[in-house]
Structure 1
C-alpha cells in the first residue's frame, strides 16, 4: 500500500475506492476507528465463515463496539469490547460460543494486538423460531 499526503491527512487508493485518514474526522477516518474496524471486521468475517461452513441457519450478524482509550498514553487503545448479536433459527448457544472462540484464534487482527490491546467478545443470540 502507498499513502499520499493531502490537506489534513493522508489518503490511499484501492480497487474499490479511496481511503482518507485524518486525526480530524471531518477529513477522513481517524486511525483508532480504522484499528477498531479492522479488529471487528476480521473477527466477524472469520466467525461468519465458520457459521457458513457449518451451514448454520442465521439471518443477521451485528457487532457493536466499545473502546477504552488512555488519555495519559497518547490516547492509546487499552481495550475493545465486541458485542455480537446473531439472529437465526435453532442456534445452539454453546456451539455459537465455541465458534466465537475459534474465530478469535483465527482472526489475524486480534492475534496481532494480543498482549497490547485487551479484546473481549460478548455474544447475544436472538432465536427467530421457537
Structure 2
C-alpha cells in the first residue's frame, strides 16, 4: 500500500482511483479507522451468522465514534457499530447473542488500543 501527496492532502493509491485522506474532501484517517472497524465487524458478523445457519440480510452498518476532546491528541475513545439486520423474528435472539463474538474475532478491532471502547448493537428491520 502506498500513500502519496495528493492535491488535497494524502491519498491512498489504488488502481481504481486514489482514496483521499482529508476530512474536507474525503475521509480523515480517524474516520477511515472507524470505517475499518465497522467493515471488519460486518464481515465477521456475516461469517458468524452464516456459521449459525441464520437466514439474514445486513441492510446497513452505521458507525459512530467519540474522541477524547480533553487530550492533547484527540484519540479515539469509543466506537459504536450498529447493524440493521433483516432476520426472522424466531432468529432474532440468536442473532443478537452472536454479537458478543464479533469484536474478539475482528482483527482490526483487536489491533486497536484496548482502552478504546467498542460496542456492537443490532436493530431489526
Number of matched pairs: 124
TM-score computed with the length of structure 1 as normaliser: 0.81
Mapped pair 1:76 → 2:75:
yes
Alignment of 1:1-130 (within 5 A): 1-22=1-22, 24-26=23-25, 28-73=26-71, 74-126=73-125
Contact (CA 8 Å) 2:54, 2:91: kept in 1 or not? Answer: no
Taking the aligned partners of 1:86 and 1:119, their CA distance within structure 2 comes to: 19
TM-score computed with the length of structure 2 as normaliser: 0.84
CA drift of 1:7 comes to 3.0
Taking the aligned partners of 1:114 and 1:94, their CA distance within structure 2 comes to: 30
Deviation per residue, 1:15-40 (Å, 9 max, x gap):
44321112x422x3111110110000
> What's the C-alpha RMSD, in Å, of the aligned pairs?
2.0
Taking the aligned partners of 2:106 and 2:82, their CA distance within structure 1 comes to: 16
